[in-house]
């Protein structure tokens, strides 16, 4: 597992860090990702891939 900060994700996606923060919060509420330890997430890979390809579903 690699540690990636929200600033890094924002830079990779070409968006503001605040957008990443909102998306991460939404994914937590939808139980797509969960905090397991500080700065680590357990990903529900299939759901995350589906969300990434078609976020309006």
Residue 1 lies in a domain: no
Give the pLDDT confidence of 36-54 residue by residue, as tens digits: 666 666 677 788 788 777 7
Residue 19 lies in a domain: yes
Residue 40 lies in a domain: yes
Determine if the pTM surpasses 0.85.
no
Per-residue pLDDT, 54? 72
> What is the number of structural domains in the chain?
1
Residue 20 lies in a domain: yes
Domain that holds residue 32: 6-53
DSSP states of 23-38: HHHHHHHTTSEEEEET
Residue 39 lies in a domain: yes
Distance separating alpha carbons of residues 25 and 30, to the nearest angstrom: 9
Two tokens at 48?
A: 């995350």
Q: How would you class 10 by CB atoms within 10 Å of its CB: exposed for 0-12, middle for 13-18, buried for 19 or more? A: middle
């Amino acid at each position: 597992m690699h540690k990636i900060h929200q600033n890094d994700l924002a830079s990779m996606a070409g968006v503001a860090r605040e957008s990443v923060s909102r998306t991460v919060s939404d994914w937590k509420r939808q139980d797509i990702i969960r905090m397991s330890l500080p700065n680590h997430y357990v990903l529900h890979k299939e759901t995350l891939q589906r969300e990434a390809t078609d976020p309006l579903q």
